[in-house]
């Protein structure tokens, strides 16, 4: 499936209306294949995006990406430490801001950091303190409910001109497709991890039930109900109660062995 999607990504990149440079496309494809997990891919994509933007604008451009997934850890990366720190706090804390503007419109948002920028003075001040004079925010939305924000940052005022942004936009189109593939791959890995965790939990619960059956001389169903009542009474997950039972049993076994060794010496 991943190979087929890489071929499709190559096809998308080859269309005249949305054609990024071939070497950029190859870099993204290499990232998809070689990345060690979603965070690693997001970091690599961030670095490539900074390279592309720097090349097209003719000045040094940093890039940051913040990726959020429902009920999963987020991924935050930056081509520099400062960019990463900005992305880690890149959430509007008031009722308005460039992030909310980007999400509301679904379009890129240009932000300045000088006195002429009157829309979001607090955000502009944060940019200026970090050493940036302009920013380009690009929102991404995905079918599974995940969302991402890619932010290009430059120390030069008006860095993202009409000549440069179309090329960056075309790169972002390909980056969006690549992130979707990376998210699907991560979802598969998450599913496997969840299944393994569920199997481990089931094993712990079954072992605890077995111990209750031995102690209480009851059926497995009765032992499981006993475990459920303990879970409800303590307001703890069933697995945690089961783990506690096993820890106590192991501690008791260790004390019995130590006691036996001590008595044999006397």
Q: Are strands 72-78 and 134-141 parallel, antiparallel or unpaired?
A: unpaired
Give the residue-averaged pLDDT of 64-83. Answer: 88
Q: What is the pTM of this model?
A: 0.63
Higher pLDDT: 197 or 209? It is: 209
pLDDT of the residue at 63: 95
Which helix (H) or strand (E) is 147 found in, with range? strand 147-154
**What are the tokens at 144?**
């599974």
**pLDDT, averaged across the chain:** 77
Query: Rounded to the nearest 5 degrees, what angle is found at the Cα of 250, between the Cα atoms of 246 and 252?
Result: 115
Q: Which residues contact 7 (CB under 8 A, 6 or more apart)?
A: none
Higher pLDDT: 114 or 251? It is: 251
- Hey, how many other C-beta atoms are within 10 angstroms of the C-beta on 5? 16
Question: 140 forms bridges with which residues in the sheet?
Answer: 148
pLDDT of the residue at 79: 94
What digits encode the pLDDT tens for the residues 79-136? Answer: 999 999 888 765 544 456 888 888 888 888 888 766 557 788 888 888 888 999 989 9
C-alpha gyration radius of the chain: 27
Whether residue 2 is predicted with pLDDT greater than 60 in this model: the reply is no
Strand, helix or coil for residue 93? coil
Whether residue 259 is predicted with pLDDT greater than 90 in this model: the reply is no
pLDDT tier for residue 3 given thresholds of 50, 70 and 90? very low
Whether residue 21 is predicted with pLDDT greater than 50 in this model: the reply is yes
pLDDT of the residue at 221: 85
Whether residue 145 is predicted with pLDDT greater than 90 in this model: the reply is no
What digits encode the pLDDT tens for the residues 202-239? Answer: 788 888 888 888 888 888 888 888 888 888 888 888 88
Higher pLDDT: 174 or 91? It is: 174
**Contact call for residues 81 and 50 (beta carbons, < 8 A):** no
pLDDT tier for residue 154 given thresholds of 50, 70 and 90? very high
The rounded percent of the chain whose pLDDT value lies above 90 is: 15
pLDDT of the residue at 155: 92
Higher pLDDT: 187 or 251? It is: 251
Query: Rounded to the nearest 5 degrees, what angle is found at the Cα of 117, between the Cα atoms of 97 and 94?
Result: 20
Distance (Å, whole) CA 155 – CA 132 = 4
pLDDT tier for residue 9 given thresholds of 50, 70 and 90? very low
pLDDT of the residue at 90: 56
How many CA atoms within 13 Å lie on the side-chain side of 247? 6
pLDDT of the residue at 16: 38
**Distances in whole angstroms, Cα of residue 159 to Cα of each of 181, 212, 237:** 30, 69, 53
């Amino acid at each position: 499936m991943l190979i087929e999607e890489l071929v499709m990504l190559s096809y998308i990149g080859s269309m005249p209306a949305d054609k990024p440079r071939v070497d950029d496309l190859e870099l993204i494809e290499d990232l998809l294949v070689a990345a060690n997990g979603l965070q690693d891919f997001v970091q690599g994509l961030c670095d490539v995006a900074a390279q592309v933007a720097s090349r097209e604008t003719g000045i040094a451009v940093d890039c940051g990406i913040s990726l959020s997934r429902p009920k999963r850890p987020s991924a935050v990366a930056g081509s520099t430490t400062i960019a990463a720190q900005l992305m880690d706090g890149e959430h509007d804390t008031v009722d308005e801001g460039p992030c909310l503007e980007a999400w509301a419109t679904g379009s890129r948002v240009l932000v300045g950091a000088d006195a002429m920028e009157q829309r979001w003075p607090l955000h502009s001040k944060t940019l200026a303190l970090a050493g940036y004079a302009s920013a380009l925010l690009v929102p991404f939305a995905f079918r599974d409910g995940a969302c991402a924000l890619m932010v290009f940052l430059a120390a030069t005022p008006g860095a993202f001109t009409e000549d440069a942004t179309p090329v960056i936009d075309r790169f972002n189109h390909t980056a969006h497709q690549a992130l979707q593939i990376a998210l699907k791959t991560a979802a598969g890995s998450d599913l496997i991890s969840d299944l393994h965790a569920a199997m481990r939990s089931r094993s712990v619960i079954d072992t605890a039930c077995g111990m209750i059956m031995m102690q209480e001389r009851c059926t497995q169903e009765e032992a499981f109900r006993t475990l459920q009542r303990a879970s409800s009474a303590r307001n703890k997950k069933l697995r945690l109660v089961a783990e506690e039972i096993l820890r106590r049993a192991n501690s008791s076994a260790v004390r019995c062995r130590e006691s036996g060794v001590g008595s044999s010496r006397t």
